[in-house]
Amino acid sequence: MTRGRRVRRRAVLRTFLAACLLAAGAGACADTRQEPLVVLGPWTGAEGEAFEAMLHGLDDDTGRTYTYQGTRSLRETLVAQLEAGDPPDVAILNSIGELTEYARANRLRPLDTTAAARAYPPWAPSLVVDGTRRTYWVPLKVDLKSLVWSEEGRRAAAPTWCVGLASQATSGWPGTDWIEDILLHQAGPDTYTEWATGRLGWRKGPVREAWRTWARLLGARGKDSVDRSLTMSYLGTPHGGERGLLRSQKGCTHEHQSAFIRYVYADARVRVDPSAGFLGGRAAYDDAYEVSGDMAAVFSDDPAAHTLVRRLSGTAARERWRDEAKKDLAPFFPDAADPQPKDPTGRRIARILTEKARTLCFDASDVMPPALRDAFHRAVLEYFRDRTEDRLGTLLAQLDTVRAQAEKDAGPGGPPRSGICAPPGG
């Protein structure tokens, strides 16, 4: 254990013991000297509180306690901790590309058999590292991305799309979701997998056509509208307690956004539908859906970290997590046998995810190496501002250059070549 890690662990332990002494006296703390396991994750606010409450509910019979660190700057925080030689015991990430890099660099510990059995594709494809195929992470919470939201009762001959591309951490991802979803429904899961894993160039016909389709769907937009979308997040401009792009952008009727947004429209009459009918794709691919997920991986040699991941991915933890969360923040889980949300919109989305879908494909940008993913985010923002053919050709050529460099940097250990698309429930 490094000096930085020892200092931090001792500080956490001192804080815990001080609280214990104040609460119950020295005798009650005499046998409670094991260091807490540190869990780093992406949830803050009400989401973080629900996860932390579930996590502390697991303390009852393990003899270990847990410290949760929630941050919206997850990648930056983890990189800083790794560089300081002070990684968390368990980290929860949403990027297969990042997890793959950590596995290739021997930062991750392979999961045991029990946890690996819950590592359903497409959220957790296995990797070959040092000549051996292993499983390195398991999905805890998942989301369905191929969805369109609209206000109940509002009919439009042709949708007028709400667009908000800004984000606190990584602006542009709502636009990459559009491109990915269009490509999946126009070209199918096989082509999608080739592109997501770096085997299909960005200037190739199917990929270029997905960008063009997005431009056609967006329609003509004035400079003020473009600037507003580039600086507005999916929350819109909250006023009178109401949030969401459907309320904030005048005249728009439909929004392409992931399942997590249902909490934004919790008190509104909003309809949610599969996106396939809106994207100009092929009927053969209507039952394919794009998904994302938050995956737990072990970064320490403490055996208790593996025990924690097994418990987090089990039914009891998922039931507790759902019950601790606010109704419209209740998480979705990867298997139809898992506990699912109880609110009507959540139940509808869960049925699509676990019953209607025949193929699930992981978010392509989160499969890509981080450098290519970040370039994709930037390119979407630039294309939204200037949707000419000349600009598109330049951007796609730049992305092909980044793709080639990322493949060179990865060497023989690039992203997984399969398992990015799979049937529900593994």
Question: Over the stretch 102-155, which tens digit does the pLDDT of each residue have?
Answer: 999 999 999 999 999 999 989 998 888 888 999 999 999 999 999 999 988 776
pLDDT for 413 equals 58
Residue 356: inside a domain: no
Is residue 56 packed enough to be buried (19+ CB in 10 Å), middle (13-18) or exposed (0-12)?
Answer: middle
pLDDT for 146 equals 98
**308-317 burial: b if 16+ Cβ within 10 Å, else e:** bbbebbeeeb
Residue 350: inside a domain: no
Residue 353: inside a domain: no
Residue 150 backbone dihedrals phi, psi, to 5 degrees: -150, 160
Minimum mean pLDDT range among 142-156, 176-190, 357-371, 391-405: 142-156
- Judge if 148 and 125 occupy the same domain: no
Residue 216: inside a domain: yes
- Judge if 7 and 137 occupy the same domain: yes
- Mean pLDDT in the chain? 89
Give the torsion sign (CA, 324, 328, 329, 331): positive
Is the model's pLDDT at 4 over the cut of 50?
no
pLDDT for 411 equals 66
- Judge if 34 and 122 occupy the same domain: yes
Cα atoms in the Cβ-side hemisphere of radius 13 Å centred on 361:
28
- Judge if 135 and 161 occupy the same domain: no
Instruction: Report the distance separating Cα 204 and Cα 403, nearest Å.
Output: 13
pLDDT for 30 equals 41
Banded pLDDT at 412 (limits 50, 70, 90) = low
Instruction: Report the distance separating Cα 199 and Cα 312, nearest Å.
Output: 34
Banded pLDDT at 369 (limits 50, 70, 90) = very high
- Judge if 335 and 382 occupy the same domain: no
The separation between CA 53 and the C-alpha centre of its own chain, rounded to angstroms, equals 21
- Provide mean pLDDT across the span 225-238: 91
- Judge if 177 and 113 occupy the same domain: no
- Judge if 251 and 151 occupy the same domain: yes
- Judge if 178 and 241 occupy the same domain: yes
Residue 411: inside a domain: yes
Number of domains in the chain: 2
Please give the residue range of the domain that contains residue 227.
Answer: 144-289+361-422
Instruction: Report the distance separating Cα 415 and Cα 285, nearest Å.
Output: 24
Residue 301: inside a domain: yes
Closest C-alpha to 361, from 200, 123, 27? 123
Residue 352: inside a domain: no
- Judge if 276 and 367 occupy the same domain: yes
**126-143 burial: b if 16+ Cβ within 10 Å, else e:** bbebeeeeebbbbbbbbb
- Judge if 158 and 61 occupy the same domain: no
The separation between CA 170 and the C-alpha centre of its own chain, rounded to angstroms, equals 12
pLDDT for 5 equals 45
Instruction: Report the distance separating Cα 271 and Cα 159, nearest Å.
Output: 14
Is the model's pLDDT at 22 over the cut of 60?
no
CATH of the domain at 136: 3.40.190.10
Closest C-alpha to 3, from 85, 81, 79? 85
Token pair for 1? 């254990």
- Judge if 267 and 127 occupy the same domain: no
Residue 351: inside a domain: no
Cα atoms in the Cβ-side hemisphere of radius 13 Å centred on 283:
0
Are 184 and 146 contacting, i.e. CB atoms less than 8 angstroms apart? Answer: yes
- Judge if 304 and 382 occupy the same domain: no
